[in-house]
Amino acid sequence: MTINILFAAKSERWATYEAPLSRALSQAGLEFELRPDFPPAEVDYIIYAPNSSLQDFRPYTRLKAVLNLWAGVEDVVQNETLKVPLTRMVDHGLTQGMVEWVTGHVLRHHLGMDAHILGQDGQWRTAVPPLAEDRPVTILGMGALGQACAAALTGLGFPVSGWSRSAKTVPQVATYHGYDGLQTALSTAQILVLLLPDTPVTTDILNADTLAELPRGAIVINPGRGPLIDDNALIAALDSGQLAHATLDVFRVEPLPADHPFWAHPKITVTPHIASATREGTASQTIAENIRRGEAGEPFLHVVDRALGY
């Protein structure tokens, strides 16, 4: 029987996704109809972006799963009209993009590149940066993205610590969990990378108290989510010298308002939520594999725990 798949995202996304999704679904051996509109009662699966106009799932009476196109699910996970499994995006392109962005920004700060890029002023600055092996990096969040970034950074020689909700073993990474584990993970972090999801528990995880646990002069890099950081505490830590710099890709309000103090702060770099993005080609394969699994009665990949919020 034909599987009806609704593509529910901003209309401009349909143009980029239609061909790779159709190809991946065909390669998965599925007999399907893929459209940006369907009578709700005929839909089996929804490929979903949380900023689409679809917010009420109740009319989708034969729905089997909602397949989120994004890694972050904070804008859909609390939706009480959604009763079927929700999966989130884990895909090679998204992961590799994040690894490249994080590695680039870690290296910028580690090597002190700004002094040479911005300081073309005739001064012969001879300070040689330390080796990576002398620059401890901590990553909060040891999920798909945190672990991939840890692998890249340990490959370059950085000593990496990782913190997560549950205990885990990650090759070449000193792992911690729980509140005491957080303090230990922060205490050595010359560079701190945030790759946690936005949940009620992680909101403001970087606040005046936790910022004070970092070594003086630490760098914060946040490609996770804006609400992970207490904005005022971050600015205070930068102004006091507790932090040397913050590179921020995500914000409580996006786009970051033009009058937000982050824009003008000399120790903050703003990037416009571009650390990584779902890539149509590889993401389509993840989606197709999950629909294949659904039809074969196999467990879905990357199912969101609605109680935990990620």
Q: Check binding of 201 to ligand NAP (CB under 6 A).
A: yes
Q: Identify which of residues 159 and 224 has a Cβ nearer to ligand NAP in the complex.
A: 224
273 flagged as catalytic? yes
Q: Identify which of residues 178 and 241 has a Cβ nearer to ligand NAP in the complex.
A: 178
Please identify which residue in 93, 136, 143, 226 interacts with ligand NAP, judged by CB under 6 A.
Answer: 143
Answer for the pair 309, 77: CB distance below 8 angstroms, yes or no: yes
Q: Check binding of 185 to ligand NAP (CB under 6 A).
A: no
Q: Identify which of residues 82 and 196 has a Cβ nearer to ligand NAP in the complex.
A: 196
**What is the gyration radius of the CA atoms in the chain, in angstroms?**
21
CB proximity list for 283: less than 8 A, separation 6 or greater: 69, 89, 91, 93, 94
Please identify which residue in 52, 210, 276, 285 interacts with ligand NAP, judged by CB under 6 A.
Answer: 276
Q: Of the listed 13, 109, 110, 225, which one is catalytic?
A: 225
Q: Check binding of 249 to ligand NAP (CB under 6 A).
A: yes
Q: Which of 20, 18, 25 shows the shortest CA–CA distance to 2?
A: 25
Contact positions with ligand NAP (CB under 6 A) in 159-178: 164-166
Q: Check binding of 181 to ligand NAP (CB under 6 A).
A: no
Shortest Å, Cβ 32 to ligand NAP: 26
Q: Check binding of 195 to ligand NAP (CB under 6 A).
A: yes
225 flagged as catalytic? yes
Distance CA 37, CA 7 (A): 7
Answer for the pair 164, 143: CB distance below 8 angstroms, yes or no: yes
Q: Of the listed 23, 265, 273, 292, which one is catalytic?
A: 273
Q: Identify which of residues 34 and 150 has a Cβ nearer to ligand NAP in the complex.
A: 150
Which window, 12-20, 124-132, 136-144, 292-300, contacts ligand NAP (CB under 6 A)? Answer: 136-144
Answer for the pair 104, 156: CB distance below 8 angstroms, yes or no: no
Q: Check binding of 71 to ligand NAP (CB under 6 A).
A: yes
Distance CA 166, CA 262 (A): 33
62-68, Cβ contacts within 8 angstroms, sequence gap of 24 or more: 64/294, 65/290, 65/291, 65/294, 65/300, 67/287, 67/290, 67/291, 68/304
Shortest Å, Cβ 144 to ligand NAP: 4
Q: Check binding of 227 to ligand NAP (CB under 6 A).
A: no
226 residue type, one letter: G
Shortest Å, Cβ 289 to ligand NAP: 16
Look at phi and psi of residue 269 and say left if phi exceeds 0, alpha if psi is from -120 to 50, else beta.
beta
**Which positions from 91 to 110 touch ligand NAP by CB under 6 A, shown as an x/- string?**
---x---x------------
- Can you state the percent helix, strand and coil of the chain, rounding each to 5? 35, 20, 45
Distance CA 248, CA 265 (A): 12
**H helices present in 34-91, as ranges:** none
Which residues are identified as catalytic?
225, 273
**Interacting residues toward ligand NAP by CB under 6 A:** 71-72, 90, 94, 98, 141-146, 164-166, 195-199, 201-202, 223-225, 249-250, 273, 275-276, 310
